[in-house]
Structure 1
Amino acid sequence: MEVKLDEVIDALESTDDETHSYYNRDTEKVEMVIEFVDNEDLAEKIEENYEHYIKLPDNYEIDAYGMMADFIDSLPAGDHQDQLATGIGGRGAFRVFRQLADSFGLTQQWYDFQTAAYKRLAIEWCADNDIVIDET
């Protein structure tokens, strides 16, 4: 089995409470099921032929909040760590984090960190499922 790494990364980045992705063992493609969108045929096909699919990590397994915390921990000591850590401690954590990252000039650094985290997760998922990565 083989898959393009970018396909897996894109699927992981698109995952939310209503969007779930599956790797189709037969076509070697990633397929997305989006709840409340007219793709009931795909959802039924996956349910009826589940052995032909491997589910990609869901929102809980991706842990976007943990990614933010890891990013904060990766910053040099005193480099806005305390403010960012406090900012993600309450309601609206993602919104507050984005606002603080912008105000501290860390937005691009965050995006680079997040991209690398999704790539690591995709590579790990492929390895765990014995799927060869096509990076072309």
Structure 2
Amino acid sequence: MNVMDELVDAFLSRDLEISYVFNCQTEEILFDVSQSVTGEPEIDWDDEEVVEFLVEIPQISSEQAHEVMVRFAKKQNNNLAYQLLAVLNGKKPFRTFKDKVSQLGIERQWYDFEYGFAKERMTEWLESLDESFI
């Protein structure tokens, strides 16, 4: 897996217990999570030497994720768009959207679309980092 794929995975993870951190010097993706989860110590954000090149990777918000699903739905033919938008306006929209995408046989298209969105965001994010990091 290349660095961009790892950044995309971190961005899309929406895991509230794990912070993903990018080492701008080594281009490694690190996890910052409770020691009780991994057995490894958490990142010491007070140690300037340790964190000099570390930046927390942003994660997609619920609002962004919902908007991406709406955009995908609107790119489909009328019948598919109607079905997808209907589940997005119902109960548990995230779960039912993914179930509907699977049921309609358009999972690959959905994941490609979602990946494309996330890759754009991560590319913009990398470009926004201070030049001294890269």
Aligned-pair CA distance for 1:91: 2.4
1:34 and 2:39 matched? no
Aligned-pair CA distance for 1:97: 0.6
Moved more, 95-104 or 10-19: 10-19
Q: In 2 relative to 1, CA 39–51 (structure 1 residues): closer, same or farther, beyond 3 Å?
A: farther
1:115 and 2:120 matched? no
Q: In 2 relative to 1, CA 10–102 (structure 1 residues): closer, same or farther, beyond 3 Å?
A: closer
2:46 & 2:69 partners in 1: Cα distance? Answer: 33
1:23 & 1:61 partners in 2: Cα distance? Answer: 22
SS in structure 2 opposite 1:42?
A: coil
Q: What is the TM-score normalised by the length of structure 2? A: 0.76
Residues 113-132 of structure 1, C-alpha deviations (whole Å, 9 max, x = no match): 1121221121111111156x
The 5 Å alignment of 1:1-136 reads: 4-35=3-34, 37-38=37-38, 41-43=41-43, 45-49=44-48, 50-60=51-61, 63-76=64-77, 78-130=78-130
8 Å contact from structure 1 (residues 11, 32) kept in 2: no
Moved more, 95-104 or 20-29: 20-29
Identity of aligned residues (%): 26
Q: Which amino acid aligns with 2:129?
A: N
Q: In 2 relative to 1, CA 19–63 (structure 1 residues): closer, same or farther, beyond 3 Å?
A: farther
More relative contact order, 1 or 2 (CA 8 Å, 6+ apart): 1
Runs of 4+ aligned structure 1 residues displaced above 6 Å come to none
